[in-house]
Structure formats: structure tokens, C-alpha cells
Amino acid sequence: MTPTIESKISHLLAERNKEAIELVFTHYGSLLLNIINRVLRDDEMSEDVLQSVLLKIWQNGHNFDSSKGSLFTWLVRVSKNAAIDKTRTKDYRLSQESKNGVEVVSIAESISTGDEIEKLYAKQLIAQLPGDQKVLINMSFFEGYSHKEICENLGIPLGTVKTRIRTAIKHLRSII
Amino acid sequence: MDIQAYISSGILEAYLAGELNEQEMLEVDRVATEYNEVRIELDALRESLLKYAQVESKAPRQEVLDGALKSIQEIEKEKFFEVLDDEPEVRIQRVNIVPVWTIAATILLFLSLGFNYVFYSQFKNTKDQLAALQSDQTSLANRVSETNEQLQYAELRIAHFMSEDNIHIRMDGLDLAPESFANVFWNKKSNAVFISVDNLPEPPHGHQYQLWAIKPGVAPIDAGIFDHNQLVQELKIVRGNVEAFAVTLEKEGGSPIATVDKTFVKGFLKKS
């Protein structure tokens, strides 16, 4: 099924069909947003950049060559470049200056306060997933944290971050 | 390569998390292309994360997609208008081209019609002139032909008169018209008879001169009536032992019996 989605998207991109963008958004949107956020560390700005990435994908889709790598690798490259370009804007610099010092607090909040985790627990499907695993999943796949940052923020050795993330996802897959 | 160990290493999760650099990602792509299990595992991981994101509201907001689609729509609209902007030029060109051609074609058509009329009139005149000339030529040719015939006839008659076979009889005026005379040329071989009217008085109305051949012991033989105004005329053929020729005045149309007392001229054949 999935390879069909990748080839379907490739095919639609070659035709400059808007449906390709919808499929990219549905199947890769959250992963790409995470990758952008890894660079920008700003949810709102990352969503803006994702929006521009979707546009770039539609405009340059015909340049995608499946023989040179997977669609995802190409999407990640476009997203990373867009995110890096964004860091060079005045807009980004101003937001970074005003956020200095606040970031740590907000990160700490998102991890330490049980509010969001409580909300997540409310979701029955994922209710059985341990909180630390959810945090790992969120940080790694949805909140733009690199393994190194996770290691630093959660106090987990870098060598075990990878395996813990894997364990968390394994668990996730077993329950959904 | 131990694929299970590769999968268990957590590299695929790192791949999806954006933890790997491009070189490492391409290496994963290569392995995934080579080993189906890796590709399946990658897809399964991605699908799980997708479901998680949906349930946990971790997916990007719908507005992100809507915004992108709106931008695309605007770009498409701009392109559409670009095409439309190009259109008026084409339309103006079309509008300009068509009347120019139409006007040119109309002018040419009328010029052509005018020339056609002029040339047709000239042609018709020429045709009429030609027809007239042809008619003239025909009548001229007829006249030439007629004249030729007359000439041939005249030549024949001259030949006839000059022929040794011809006997010339001079008919002198008798008591009724002593001044008058006429000549007869009789061909002994062809038996043709010609009369040359030289000096005969105007016949009274309803009367005509008639030539007679006179043989011994018989009544005068009709040799034909003739017009006294015409110089030379060919008359009836006369055969046999002719002694003399005489001209009498008869009623118009001639008479089977000669009115001997109205004999105007008479001449005898010379004894050979």
C-alpha cells in the first residue's frame, strides 16, 4: 500500500497535480514539520515553512528523481533547506531574540507538566503507552528534538536514546 | 547484511525523525531498495507515527495545507490570467488581420469585376467586329467565288467562240428593223447555241424575242427565248441540218410556233 502512495505521489508531482500536495501533507506532513522544527524550534514558524515547502514541492515536483533516493529523502532535503533559509531571515532572528531564555522554560513545561501528558492519556487508543515513551516519540518525531537534545533534556545517555525511541515505537505499533 | 540487526539498530526511526544526514538517508534508501523487509518496516513505522499524530493531534494544522493550496490556486490563477493577457494581443491581431484581408479582398474583387466588365465589353466589341469582318469576308469570298465562276464561264464561252468547231452566223435586220443585227455561235460538236444581241429594238410590253433554227422542209425549231438587254446568252441545244437562224418577236414566255411575219433578224449558214 505505502509504496503505492510514494509512487502515486511521484506520478502526481510530475503532473503538477495538487492532489500530490494533499497526499504529502497527509502521509508526510507531521514528519516534515518535525524536521523543520528541528531547525527552527518554533512551532508556528515551522508550520509557515511547511506551507512554503508544500508549495515548493508542487512547483519543483517534476525534478524529483526516484532513482536518486526515496521520495521521503527528497522531501526532507527540501524541508531542511527551507528551514535553513528561514533562519537567515530577519523575521527568524527577531523571534529568536525575544524567545531567549523562554525556550528552556517552555520545553521544561512541555515535558514536566503533566497536563499535556494527561490529555494524551485520555486518548484511549494510546492509553497504554507509557508516558516516557510518548515523550520520546513526541520529542523525536513531532517536536523537532534531535537525539542529542533529547539526551540533554531528559538526561538519558545518547547511546540509549535510539533504542528507547525504538522500544517506544514498537510499543506504539503493538497497540495501534 | 543482518537485516534484523539493521532494523533493530533504530536507524530507521532516526531516518524518519530527521536525525540522519542526507548521505545516511540515501544509504537507508539504498538498503530499503535492496531489502524488502527494510522498506516494509519503514512504511510500517511511518504509518504508525501517522496514526499516532492523528490521534494525538500532532499532525500539522489543516490550515497549513489550505494555505499551500490557496497559494497554488493563486499561482494557477496568475498563469491563467497570463494566458488571458496574451490573448487580447492575439485577438487584436486577429481583429486587425481580418479587416485588412477583407478590405484588400473586397478591393481586389471590385477591381476584378471592373476589369472583367471592361475587358468583357472590349471582348464583345471585338467579337462583333470579328463577326462583321467574317461576314464581310464571307460575302467577299462569295463574290470572289461568283466572279470566279463568271470568269470561268466567260473563259469557257471565249473558248467556245474561239473554237474551230463554232459556226458564226450573222443575222441582219429585215424590213421590221433594218438597222438591227445579232450574231449566233453554234457549236457543231456540242450543239450549244449562243446569241450575241447587238442591236435589237426594245420589245413592246408583254413581248420577248425568240431564236429559231430553220431546217429545210420543216417548221422553225425553237432555240429559246432571250433577254434582249443581255449581250451574250446561251440558249437551247440545236442539232441537225440547220440552214439558218432567225429571231422573231413573240408573246412573253415564248411560243412553240414561230410568228414568221414578226421576224426581226435572219442569217444563213455559209455553205461549206
CATH number at residue A171: 1.10.10.10
Please give the residue of chain A at the shortest CA–CA distance from B17.
A141
Q: What is the pLDDT of residue B86?
A: 64
Cβ contact, residue pair A162, B13, below 8 Å = yes
* Contact residues for B158 (Cβ-Cβ < 8 A; gap 6+): none
Are residues A85 and A154 located together in one domain of the fold?
A: no
Tell which residue, B255, B206, B195, has the closest CA to residue B229.
B195
* Residues from chain B contacting residue A169 (CB–CB below 8 Å): 13, 45, 48-49
CA distance B252 to B207: 5
pLDDT tens for each residue of B19-52: 999 999 999 999 999 999 999 999 999 988 988 8
Domain count along chain B: 3
Domain limits for position B32 = 3-59
Give the three cell numbers for residue A64: 524529483
Cβ contact, residue pair A29, B18, below 8 Å = no
Q: What is the pLDDT of residue B272?
A: 56
CB-CB neighbours of B164 under 10 Å: 7
Interface predicted TM-score (ipTM) over 0.90: no
Pick from B13, B58, B64: CB nearest A138: B58
Task: Reply yes or no on whether the pLDDT at A106 is more than 60.
Answer: no
For residues A51 and A95, which has the higher predicted lDDT (pLDDT)?
A: A51
* Contact residues for A173 (Cβ-Cβ < 8 A; gap 6+): B44, B45, B48
- Our measurement of the distance from residue B157's CA atom to the centroid of its chain's CA atoms, rounded to an integer in Å, reads 49
Are residues B171 and B263 located together in one domain of the fold?
A: yes
Residue B239's pLDDT band, with cuts at 50, 70 and 90, is confident
In a domain, B150, yes or no: yes
| Minimum distance, in Å, between the CA of residue B87 and any CA atom of chain A | 24
Are residues B132 and B177 located together in one domain of the fold?
A: no
Q: How many helices (H) and strands (E) does chain A have?
A: 10, 0
Are residues A91 and A119 located together in one domain of the fold?
A: no
Q: What is the CATH number of the domain that holds A89?
A: 1.10.1740.10
| Residue B205 and residue B270 in contact, taking contact as beta carbons nearer than 8 Å | no
Task: Reply yes or no on whether the pLDDT at A101 is more than 60.
Answer: no
Residue B61 in contact with partner chain A when CB distance is under 8 A: yes
Residue B56 in contact with partner chain A when CB distance is under 8 A: yes
Residue A84's pLDDT band, with cuts at 50, 70 and 90, is very high
| Minimum distance, in Å, between the CA of residue A35 and any CA atom of chain B | 5
Task: Reply yes or no on whether the pLDDT at A56 is more than 90.
Answer: yes
Are residues A121 and A136 located together in one domain of the fold?
A: yes
CA distance A75 to A28: 9
Task: Reply yes or no on whether the pLDDT at B95 is more than 70.
Answer: no
Are residues B173 and B155 located together in one domain of the fold?
A: no
CA distance A36 to B221: 153
Where does a domain end: B162, B187, B204? Answer: B162
Domain limits for position A37 = 2-96
Where does a domain end: B162, B182, B204? Answer: B162
Are residues B170 and B145 located together in one domain of the fold?
A: no
Give the three cell numbers for residue B182: 445579232
Cβ contact, residue pair A21, B72, below 8 Å = yes
In a domain, B45, yes or no: yes
Residue A108's pLDDT band, with cuts at 50, 70 and 90, is very low
Task: Reply yes or no on whether the pLDDT at B140 is more than 50.
Answer: yes
pLDDT tens for each residue of B202-238: 899 999 999 999 998 889 999 999 988 877 788 888 8
Are residues A83 and A127 located together in one domain of the fold?
A: no
| Minimum distance, in Å, between the CA of residue B113 and any CA atom of chain A | 58
CA distance A135 to A127: 13
Which of A19, A52, A54 is most worth mutating to test chain B (most B CB atoms within 10 A of its CB)? A54
Residue B234 in contact with partner chain A when CB distance is under 8 A: no
Mean pLDDT for all residues in chain A = 82
Q: Are strands B221-226 and B263-268 parallel, antiparallel or unpaired?
A: unpaired
Domain count along chain A: 2
Between A109-113, B66-70, B77-81, B133-137, the lowest mean confidence (pLDDT) is in A109-113
Where does a domain end: A96, A115, A149? Answer: A96
